[in-house]
Amino acid sequence: MTQPEAAQEKQRAAVLSMLAALGLTAIKLTIGLYTNSLGMLSEALHSGIDLLAAGLTLLAVHISSQPADERHAFGHGKAENLSALAQTLLLFMTCTWVAWEGIHRLLEGASPMHPSLWCVGVMLLSMAVDINRVRVLRRVAREHDSQALEADALHFSTDILSSAVVLAGVLAVWLAERLHIPATLHHVLLQADTIAALLVAFIIFITSLRLAAEAINILMDAAPPAAKAAIQKAVMAVPGVLAVQKLRVRRSGSQYFIQMRIGVLASQKLEEAHSLAHAAEKAVCTIFPDADVIVHIEPLK
């Protein structure tokens, strides 16, 4: 697949994700306001953040597909990593609001939700939509090594879990209203929606930390240890290569930029040494097909 075709597929996946987030946000907000469910409102806010995040992803995928220019010699791939980092900041804001409102409701016992099976239907719909878009995003992210789409997929994977938690809370409140149960248990079940919202906030927070750490590592040019080990092994397998030195790996979006020195016999002719450098480059490209590879030759005694 050519680079323009890959960019189009990534943009198509981002657009579908954004449309799904738009629909879910509208439905969850409507039902959340109708039932006064904090769990549902937190999910609506979460989906609203998803919508903004999907928009950022679409913009990042578009920018990252632009070719390198004089000011950006390594291309524009890190726009995807910046997008992933921006998503985590939005998620932290969501966590803060949900946690504050949830603790307030638990302490004050205020604003109980009005149980409705509409909430159950909305959460089941949300889970079905999220399962489908996670499948699509993961496939495209894996095929094109896109961190922006990978971040979206991980983000929506947590949506499935948080939706399940909210669904359990809504069902607990609904059952408490319809079953004749002891007062103490009844009070606990009525707070299940709020507790579910706090669990959602915790899930979002943990996921945000992981996304932020990965995005920051790439923006800071942290070399993936597994990638360096794989490159070292592949190059050392080339006949005639005696050593691999000063191996440097950096990533920009889905593209890798790799520099290294290879040790060769000092007695080898220039043409033979050049052929070894070319073979080392091909060995790296078997692992990272679109990598930009620079190989220096170091004669060894």
Per-residue model confidence as pLDDT tens for the chain (301 residues): 556 566 677 777 777 777 877 887 888 788 778 777 666 777 677 677 777 777 877 787 778 777 777 777 777 778 877 877 887 787 787 778 777 777 776 777 655 555 566 777 777 887 888 888 788 888 887 777 776 777 777 767 767 776 777 677 667 767 766 776 666 666 666 666 677 777 777 877 887 787 788 778 878 877 777 888 889 999 999 998 888 988 998 887 667 889 999 988 888 888 888 999 999 999 999 888 878 899 999 888 6
Q: Are 122 and 27 in contact (CB under 8 A)?
A: yes
- Confidence (pLDDT) at 70: 77
Question: Which residue, among 48, 38, 13, 208, has the nearest Cα to 126 in the 3D structure?
Answer: 48
Distance of CA 56 to the CA centre of its chain: 12
Give the separation between CA 242 and CA 276, rounded to whole angstroms: 11
> pTM to 2 decimals?
0.60
pLDDT, position 51? 77
Assess contact for 37 and 53: CB atoms under 8 A.
Answer: no
The domain made up of 3-219 is a member of CATH 1.20.1510.10: yes
Contacts of 74 (CB under 8 A, 6+ apart): 68, 250, 252, 255, 257, 292
- Return the CATH number of 225-300, one of 3.40.50.280, 3.40.50.720, 3.30.70.1350, 3.10.400.10: 3.30.70.1350
Predicted local distance difference test score (pLDDT) of residue 278: 93
pLDDT at residue number 282 = 92
- Could you tell me how many residues make up the chain? 301
**Which residues, including other chains, have CB under 8 Å from residue 198's CB and lie 6 or more apart?**
98, 99, 102, 103, 106
pLDDT at 61: 76
Q: Are 127 and 163 in contact (CB under 8 A)?
A: yes
Domains 3-219 and 225-300 in one fold: no
Q: Are 17 and 133 in contact, with CB atoms under 8 Å apart?
A: yes
Domain ranges of the chain: 3-219, 225-300
